[in-house]
Structure 1
Amino acid sequence: MTHPVRLILVATDLTARSDRAVDRALELGREWNADVHVVHAIERDAPTTALDVRRVLPGPGAKASVSLPSGPAPKAITDTARELNADLLVTGVARYNDLGDYLLGTAVDHVVRNAAAPVLVVKQRPHGPYQRLLVASDFSKGAKAALLAAAAMFPEARLHLVHAYHVPFESRIKSDDIRDIARSEAQQKLDALLAELPKELRGRIEPHLAAGEPGTVLDEVAGDVWPDLVVIGAHGVSGLVQAALGSVASSLLQRIAADTLVVKEG
């Protein structure tokens, strides 16, 4: 079966903080036999050359093409991804401040919100293929699309499907009946989703249902399964700050320590 990712675009600012993203992109390129394209945006009249970009690669023989578009980095990266029809866009983060904000600055934020292709945000140093995926799901169409996309990209990985359900009135009424009803409804939605999936894929999925706020539940499950990749779905593309990803997806992207794959619906 042909792998769904044939062209990987990875962004670099030529500093050490981008090395993890570049290394992961090259590793995925080897794993999937996919082409890797490295993009560095020239925002000013800097004398940057393709040779300068190749110096950030892990070795002189690394198989990758190079683009040096001019203009603001966020737009240059997403425009290049569209022009090349990239199947996956890989980027990194520099560090976090105490508020969980990203400091590649606005570049990562813009790329995740505006790229047409799935975006892999690399946070950890690569240590082999992704094997344990944590897939956040609200059982929406977008969440299902993210699950299917991740399953196709990583056909050997175990998929931990996590759903955080809400128990109504729990802050005011402590009722086992209400909690049981909420869990039963979540289980019904899970069963309906699994019934729609191919048998082979169902065999790779380990469901996790828990009451609580999505980020908290995801953290708890992550502490148990130690995922090397977290997958979240996002709804469409919009110019609105929160609407582009949705407040839940945006919050999860900030707080998750593992590499994170964001897949948009359609």
Structure 2
Amino acid sequence: MSEGVTTTTWPTTLPQGGVVAATDFSPGAQAAVHRAARLAQGLGTHLTVLHVLQHDWITELTTWLGGAQPRERIVADARATLEELVHAMRAQSPALAVHAALVEGHPVRDIDGVARQCQPYCVVLGASGRGGAQLPVLGTTVERLLRKAGQPVLVVRQPPQRSYQRVLVAVDFSPWSAPTLDLAAAVAPQANIWLLHAYTVPYEEKLRFAGVDDEMIELYRQRARERARNGLHHLAQQRGWPPTRYQTVLHEGDAAPALVYEAVQRDCDLVVIGKHGVSAAEELLLGSVTKHALAQVPCDVLVSTLQASA
């Protein structure tokens, strides 16, 4: 774990790989833990359930109450709650190896720190916390974690009733697109998959200003649509997907509202999207379409942090 990441970690040695589910013991986090368990079982790996006790809060409370006993009691209670949760998960899924991890530190920093130490397949967390408010919105733990994350992050909004069945994958032909398809196929091997791309007619306004007539602009529009469709098929074929494995969805215009519209219209239970987009500026933070998806789509969102090698 990187320098300065944690104050206390239990156990001191964490299992490598698997799936990490972060929990604050809220109902939203409970849904995320159960989805993570389904995901780990499907991938044939183990599950680590992680709880981060916020160090600043514990320190302030101890200062107010005085002495070390309040801190020790808080840590002991959190550990007991975590062990009870893990015991219940083991009883529910006997074939699944479930581990507990308790960290005292900072939630964003330490979830990321544990993920970088363990190198899990993905990190799973809920879209609502102790307050019950729906997350993520800009500036929340989810987005701040995604800014730092080196592993895919699954944000869970819905109680997991079954494996993912209806998956929408956003494709913009950036270096993140191919790994995003691979990730979708791995987490939802039996699902119906739609590959969505939003296209535009390059420089349409400038073409009109230059006097290009509507017929010629429509021809450019058809060409842009055909290039997009061919690009989607090419990506799928590179993955070895047969034509029955997926469908293509093309939208003209802004990708963000198109993504939300298609997710709702197709009653998707999962949206998969890359962390960044084609714009170099987006790489400084999160891609704008990714942030829009996190804020607006009603289903789970899986954000791929991987990009294709050059």
CA shift, 1:118, in A, is: 0.6
Give the aligned partner of residue 50 of structure 1: 79
Give the % identical residues: 29
**SS of the residue 2:104 aligns to:** coil
Match of 1:141 among 175, 191, 211: 175
CA shift, 1:247, in A, is: 1.7
Q: 256-265 or 45-54: which moved more?
A: 45-54
* Aligned residue identity for 1:61: A
Give the aligned partner of residue 194 of structure 1: 233
CA shift, 1:194, in A, is: 2.1
Q: 53-62 or 33-42: which moved more?
A: 53-62
Q: Is the 8 A contact 1:78 1:114 kept in 2?
A: yes
Q: Is the 8 A contact 2:273 2:304 kept in 1?
A: yes
* Aligned residue identity for 1:120: L
Give the aligned partner of residue 261 of structure 2: 220
Q: Is the 8 A contact 2:127 2:135 kept in 1?
A: no
TM-score under structure 1 normalisation? 0.84
Give, in whole Å, the separation in 2 of the partners of 1:243 and 1:166: 24
CA shift, 1:192, in A, is: 3.5
Q: Is the 8 A contact 2:165 2:191 kept in 1?
A: yes
Give the aligned partner of residue 205 of structure 2: 169
CA shift, 1:175, in A, is: 3.2
- Which has more radius of gyration? 2
TM-score under structure 2 normalisation? 0.73
**SS of the residue 2:231 aligns to:** helix
Give, in whole Å, the separation in 1 of the partners of 2:264 and 2:28: 26
CA shift, 1:83, in A, is: 1.0
Give, in whole Å, the separation in 2 of the partners of 1:250 and 1:94: 16
CA shift, 1:159, in A, is: 1.4
Give the aligned partner of residue 153 of structure 1: 187
- CA 1:34/1:14 → structure 2, altered by over 3 Å: closer, same or farther? same
Give, in whole Å, the separation in 2 of the partners of 1:106 and 1:241: 18
- CA 1:184/1:54 → structure 2, altered by over 3 Å: closer, same or farther? farther
**SS of the residue 1:89 aligns to:** strand
Q: What are the residue-to-residue correspondences of 1:1-266 with 2, within 5 Å?
A: 7-43=18-54, 44=58, 45=71, 46-47=74-75, 48-56=77-85, 59=89, 61-62=91-92, 63-94=97-128, 102=136, 106-167=140-201, 168-169=204-205, 175=214, 177-196=216-235, 197-235=238-276, 243-266=284-307
Which blocks of at least 5 consecutive residues in structure 2 are unaligned?
Answer: 1-15, 59-70
Q: Is the 8 A contact 1:232 1:249 kept in 2?
A: yes
* Aligned residue identity for 1:12: T
* Aligned residue identity for 1:126: P
- CA 1:265/1:30 → structure 2, altered by over 3 Å: closer, same or farther? closer
Give, in whole Å, the separation in 1 of the partners of 2:52 and 2:230: 46
Give, in whole Å, the separation in 2 of the partners of 1:93 and 1:223: 18
Tell me how many residue pairs correspond in the alignment: 256
CA shift, 1:28, in A, is: 1.5
Q: 102-111 or 24-33: which moved more?
A: 102-111
CA shift, 1:148, in A, is: 2.0
Q: Is the 8 A contact 1:118 1:262 kept in 2?
A: yes
- CA 1:73/1:166 → structure 2, altered by over 3 Å: closer, same or farther? same
* Aligned residue identity for 1:169: E
